[in-house]
């Protein structure tokens, strides 16, 4: 019985597998003219004691252009392998084609977890992503460097952090030549990276500006702001006659004369009465004092727009509501 089931379903399974395999996407791009790693250095104690930073300058050259339409972040990788050259420790995408920079960072905890040894003959590699390259050829679609003692920048007479600064400035000089863009500026405190350099190196080493602020040019300036006295001209445009018309303004004037108060006071009492009615209805139906107060705010705004309430009063009411809500939500809640 089992053999019969196998004979029945085996062809169907093979056909389904064939369809599935043919449906898998296959990517392919042209090989670069060359792939090299002009320099690489490993630095310690950059963001914390015991960390390691692998920082390289790479060249994935397409000459003449055009470069592939696919971004380098998808097609090329920087990788760190063990001393055997085959055990992958970590990879990260390249930022762009041509001459550029990239880094791989290990925190102190990650150094311990990966059992990384300072000064070991690890293998660094810039290579095409196997998804896009069926064959990787040294010097064409990949570049391999076995780290030696001169590429490990340990703390010594000069800290690894300061050595990284010098290293970055040297690499920035190469990028200037390759990109045709100024990255280095001369200051009274020595050479530093400008805003373009800031962007490039912080993209490659996220947070570098916080670890090594002296690498970057800082600028500050003082702005003189002229004091302008408020005239209240804008608030004065919100009048009853201007917003509601002369007839309505005359009505408020007449009621005010009957009550012995001004036109403005009469209009204000009208809006306040409206606010109290709304607040009462909300409170009676919900029992929530906060909701009752908040829902009167739109009416107060209408009162200001119509000219019935002065704008300063609206600000005062808003402050009272904010303070009360702060008390209601935080202090009373605690």
DSSP state of 215: G
Distance CA(323)–CA(326), nearest Å, equals 5
DSSP state of 296: T
Three-class SS of residue 311? helix
pLDDT of the residue at 6? 45
pLDDT of the residue at 47? 96
pLDDT of the residue at 214? 93
- Residue ending a domain, among 215, 248, 269, is 215
Q: Let me know whether 197 and 110 are in one domain.
A: yes
Tokens representing 43 are 């630095």
Q: Let me know whether 68 and 187 are in one domain.
A: yes
Mutual angle of helices 246-259 and 263-286, in 10-degree steps? 90
Q: Let me know whether 185 and 300 are in one domain.
A: no
Q: Which domain holds residue 242?
A: 237-331
Q: Let me know whether 176 and 258 are in one domain.
A: no
Question: Is there a domain that residue 17 lies in?
Answer: no
Q: What is the DSSP string of 27-39?
A: ---PPPSEEEEEE
CB atoms within 10 A of CB 128: 24
pLDDT of the residue at 13? 45
Beta bridge partners of 77: 93, 127
Distance CA(286)–CA(295), nearest Å, equals 12
Q: Which residues of the chain have pLDDT under 70?
A: 1-27, 219-223, 231-237, 314, 331-334
Q: Let me know whether 275 and 184 are in one domain.
A: no
Q: Let me know whether 325 and 205 are in one domain.
A: no
Question: Is there a domain that residue 225 lies in?
Answer: no
Three-class SS of residue 150? helix
> Is the separation of the CB atoms in 40 and 151 below 8 Å?
yes
- pTM greater than the 0.75 cutoff: no
Burial of 273 by CB count in 10 Å (0-12 exposed, 13-18 middle, 19+ buried)?
Answer: exposed
Distance CA(302)–CA(314), nearest Å, equals 10
């Amino acid at each position: 019985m089992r053999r019969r089931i196998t004979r029945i379903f085996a062809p169907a399974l093979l056909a389904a597998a064939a369809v599935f395999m043919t449906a898998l996407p296959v990517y392919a791009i042209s090989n670069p003219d060359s792939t090299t790693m002009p320099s690489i250095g490993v630095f310690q104690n950059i963001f914390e004691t015991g960390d390691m930073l692998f920082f390289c300058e790479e060249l994935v050259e397409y000459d003449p252009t055009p470069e592939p339409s696919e971004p380098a972040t998808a097609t090329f990788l920087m990788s760190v392998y063990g001393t055997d050259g085959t055990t992958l420790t970590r990879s990260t995408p390249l930022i762009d084609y041509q001459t550029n920079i990239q880094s791989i960072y290990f925190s102190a905890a990650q150094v311990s977890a990966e059992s990384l040894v300072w000064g070991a003959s690890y293998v660094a590699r810039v290579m095409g992503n196997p998804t896009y390259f069926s064959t990787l050829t040294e010097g064409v679609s990949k570049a391999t460097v076995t780290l030696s003692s001169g590429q490990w920048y340990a703390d010594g007479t000069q800290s690894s952090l300061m050595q990284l600064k010098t290293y970055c400035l040297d690499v920035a000089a190469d990028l200037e030549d390759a990109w045709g863009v100024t990255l280095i500026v001369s200051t009274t405190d020595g050479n530093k990276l400008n805003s373009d350099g800031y962007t490039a190196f912080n993209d490659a080493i996220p947070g570098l500006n916080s670890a090594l602020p002296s690498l970057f040019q800082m600028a500050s300036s003082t702005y003189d702001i002229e004091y302008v006295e408020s005239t209240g001209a804008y608030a004065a445009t919100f009048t009853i006659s201007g917003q509601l018309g002369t007839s309505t303004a005359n009505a408020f004037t007449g009621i005010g004369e009957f009550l012995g108060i001004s036109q403005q006071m009469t209009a204000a009492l009208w809006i306040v009465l409206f606010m109290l009615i709304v607040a009462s209805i909300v409170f009676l139906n919900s029992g929530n004092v906060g909701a009752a107060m908040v829902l009167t705010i739109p009416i107060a705004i209408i009162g200001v727009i119509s000219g019935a309430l002065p704008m300063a009063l609206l600000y005062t009411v808003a402050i009272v509501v904010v303070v009360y809500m702060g008390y209601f939500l935080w202090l009373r809640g605690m």
